[in-house]
A = this chain, B = another copy of it.
Amino acid sequence: MSSPDRPLENADQQAQVFERVRKAHQMEATEDYVELIDDLIRTQGEARLVEVAERLGISQPSAGKTISRLQRDGYVTSEPYRSIFLTDKGKQLADSSRERHDIVFKFLLAIGVSEDTAKLDSEGLEHHVSDETLGVFKRLIKQHSERQAKK
């Protein structure tokens, strides 16, 4: 590929692309945490820090620090030595994150990616998919399931 397919564009436009990625990036941890906390509340009845930390694969103090930030920013509430709850804002974010995650996951399956890889990739991809692309994904999932039904 000697001639690039994406020619050098206007510097301003390119800067906006990167800015958008940086913004998405700031939300990643937040989304992962509220999604996980919501999962834990659903399945275990409550979300304990020890469990959050274990599932994220990080130390308890690291998880605790981020939980504090989430509390400061209004996504969760929790009293010292107690379990963690989602605020309305946190619950909304958890719901929309889960929906995105599920769509990306199912989309990958629909196009023929293996279940293991779909699980891995969807976790990384979910934070960077625009609404437009998500819409296309949904459409293709639907087409795929209809095709399956016909067989």
Using a CB–CB cutoff of 8 Å, the interface residues on chain A facing chain B are 1, 4-8, 11, 14-21, 24-25, 32, 39-40, 42-43, 51, 54-58, 98-99, 101-102, 105-106, 108, 111-114, 117-121, 123-125, 127-130, 132-133, 136, 139-140
Stoichiometry, copies per complex = 2
Task: Kindly state the separation between the CA atoms of A112 and B136 in the bound complex, as whole angstroms.
Answer: 7
Chain A interface SS verdict (over half)? helix
Pair A117/B133 contact, Cβ less than 8 Å: yes
| Set of chain B residues within 8 Å of A57, measured between Cβ atoms | 14-16, 18-19
Task: Kindly state the separation between the CA atoms of A132 and B136 in the bound complex, as whole angstroms.
Answer: 21
Pair B140/A117 contact, Cβ less than 8 Å: no
Pair A102/B5 contact, Cβ less than 8 Å: yes
Nearest B residue (CB) for A14: B55
**Nearest-Cβ distance from residue A116 to partner chain B, whole angstroms:** 9
